[in-house]
Amino acid sequence: MVGYTEALTDPSYCGQILTLTYPLVGNYGVPSRKKTASEVPTYFESDGIKVRGLIVHNLCETPSHWASSCTLHDWLLEENIPGIQGIDTRQLTKKLREKGVMLGILQVYEENEEPDVDELREEATKIPDPNASDLVRLVSIAKPITYLKERGRRAVVIDCGVKAGIIRSLLQRGYTVTRVPYDFSSEEIVSNNPDVVIISNGPGDPSVCVSTIESVRRLVENSIPVMGICLGNQILSLSQGAERYKLKYGHRSQNQPALDVETGRCYITTQNHGYAIDVESLGGTGLKVSFLNANDKTVEGVAHPERACFGVQFHPEASPGPRDTDFLFDEFLKRGVR
């Protein structure tokens, strides 16, 4: 079980070609597009595939699973997403580890049609960097959506490309959830009378989200409890004056070790990000490092000792797992109890 359905529908992968190192992909097929009673996807992280292409070693075309409704091949075909198999993806991953993330092309050809390698090489030199564009705008909603309106406690999620698992986690804890566009002003957010505000995950460079950074800065100033997840952690940090930098190849896996600097306990986490916060830039922001990556010592979380705000670089909702840090939602939501 490698979680390819969750990964393919994760908006944080918008604009990217995804390579999976597990050798057999597609063996449990693709579940139905079923949604919960609250209209949140049950098995996916968004309403469709968000990657631009998929690279695997071996594609299983005869899946076996009780929840399977179609093959991975048919799903990609239905959503017009190119894929390629027969690639030594572990060797490719080693190259990415050495050289860093690269721009690439997946060109689809008809059967018996030969690719023009020279033409593709020339085209590869002209690929625009997706991080230079406003990727968040492509995956955020255009107008607010509210889930389960009848509940008393309210959470507002700033949608920078939110995973459905975050919304499910809040609904499971008894909250009415209002999902708002990434460029909503702080005044528009406060008008929803939130007990807490969550800044979601999302794709690309956090510094592009200028309006979101400004809104979060005002929310923190007004003592609204704020939690940032993944890109949201970076936006929270930038709103307080910190700086970000691009990682060589990012953290993208379900087994990243995050070390709690206060307790010394290490948690296994799911991560998907290409940028990180510069630890040196946190001086003077009021934010303190709360988690570090045990492998490369990059910042995995920040917290403000005097304000009800913190962020984590990993995914506590952890779809499809692990669930080691799911308790962080409970820790945060306590701050919004009035």
Q: Residue 156 — left, alpha, or beta (φ > 0 → left; ψ -120 to 50 → alpha)?
A: beta
- Return the amino acid letter for 133: S
Whether the predicted model's global pTM rises above the 0.85 cut: yes
User: ∠103-50-90 over CA atoms, to 5°?
Assistant: 50
- Return the amino acid letter for 283: G
H/E segment holding residue 271? strand 266-277
Pairing of strands 299-303, 309-312: antiparallel
Q: How far is CA 182 from the centre of its chain?
A: 14
Paired strand residues for 246: 275
Q: Which residue numbers in the chain have pLDDT < 70?
A: 1-2, 37, 320, 337-338
Question: What residues are annotated to the active site?
Answer: 230, 315, 317
Q: What is the pLDDT of residues 48-88, one digit of tens each?
A: 999 999 999 999 999 999 999 999 999 999 999 999 999 99
User: ∠72-73-79 over CA atoms, to 5°?
Assistant: 90
Three-state SS for 303?
strand
Q: What is the pLDDT of residues 129-161, one digit of tens each?
A: 888 889 999 999 999 999 988 888 999 999 999
Q: Does the N-terminal peptide bond of residue 320 adopt cis geometry, omega within 30 degrees of 0? A: yes
3-state secondary structure 137-169: HHHCCCCCEEECCCCCCEEEEEECCCCHHHHHH
Exposure of 177 by Cβ count < 10 A (0-12 exposed, 13-18 middle, 19+ buried)?
buried
pLDDT of residue 97: 87
- Return the amino acid letter for 237: S
Domains detected in the chain: 4-127 (3.50.30.20), 136-336 (3.40.50.880)
